[in-house]
Copies of this chain bind each other. A is one copy, B any other.
Amino acid sequence: MNSFGSLLRLHIFGESHGHGVGVTLDGVPCGIALTEADFQEDLSRRQGGNQPGTTPRREADLPQFYSGLFNGMTTGAPLTIFFQNDNVRSDTYEAQRAIPRPGHADFVAHHKFGGYEDYRGGGHFSGRLTVGIVAAGVVAKKILPGISIRATLIELGGQATIDAGLAFAKAQGDSVGGIVECRVGGLPIGLGEPFWDSLESLLAHAAFSIPAVKGIEFGAGFAAARMLGSEHNDALESASGHTATNHAGGIVGGLSNGNELVFRIAVKPTSSTPKQQNSLNIQSGEIESFAVKGRHDLAIALRVPPVLEAMTALVLADVHLLNRAR
């Protein structure tokens, strides 16, 4: 289903090339001031066309508030934010439909929805829906006073800097992936639950809802599997929970432990590479060579940081509200 969260609950809807995409955020506390300007920075960071390596498709990405806002303040009722699709070119998709694009959801969506899926630009599977998620994240951040959330692209195309990664992609004439790290400061001790609603479970659940994410690790992560126990354990140094090291990434027993929350996600290379590729023509049954047309990102990873921040903010605001209930 298309909902996430418990006390702060996000519903998403829309398609890449339909009327638009939107979100309804339920459980927003009343009395939060919201203006269009509050959304600009994060929406702009997410947007294609603003930086080298991203798609030239430019949407205005103006949030339209359909409910839940009155006199510039949240009312406590569901907050619906809609983004119209202005800049839609659908013609290429119909032509291309017989040949499912490798790495995309075309083939599985066709199977699951029996051909009724809106196949234009990925339809409901499109990364376009993350615009609404970013908007919801802006609201979620406002529910978390004193907590800073920052996601950064720390590796692109295997290179340590964005410039190097883009240069590499262009030299290869191919798309590339990257690694995004998220750091959260100011968290209190005790957010999250043991087992199912561990912070790692909730954050991973949300992070893998971002298209193209294929891995996540907290603190030392995969490297922890090669450490010794005495080396990995973070020694408690103060009653505020501060530890000498932070191999746990700020989470122990599924709960925030008072240290910085640190995790990283792996973003696969954009599926729509400029290179020629093979795929099956499901009408003819023949393997065909083709190149994906349309306007695409050379590295979708460039646009992921604000989406990951939004996902993180949604999870943290939710567990923050839950903690208040106890």
Contacts and interface: CB of A to CB of B under 8 A. Distances in A.
A236 B2 contact: no
Copies of this protein, total: 4
A2 B78 contact: yes
Interface stretch (A26-34, A36-44, A144-152): A26-34
Interface string A82-121: 1000000000000000001011110111011110111000
Contact of A108 (B12, B78, B255): B255
Contacts of A80: 13-14, 22
Interface of A: 1-4, 6-7, 9, 11-15, 18-22, 24, 26-27, 29-31, 65-68, 70, 73-80, 82, 100, 102-105, 107-109, 111-114, 116-118, 122-125, 129, 155, 157-158, 169, 172, 174-179, 189-190, 193-198, 200-202, 204-209, 211, 213-239, 241, 243-244, 247-249, 252-257, 266-273, 275, 277-280, 282, 285, 287, 301, 321-322, 324-326
B269 A229 contact: yes
A216 B209 CA distance: 14
B220 A218 contact: no
A238 B111 CA distance: 13
Contact of A204 (B70, B129, B201): B201
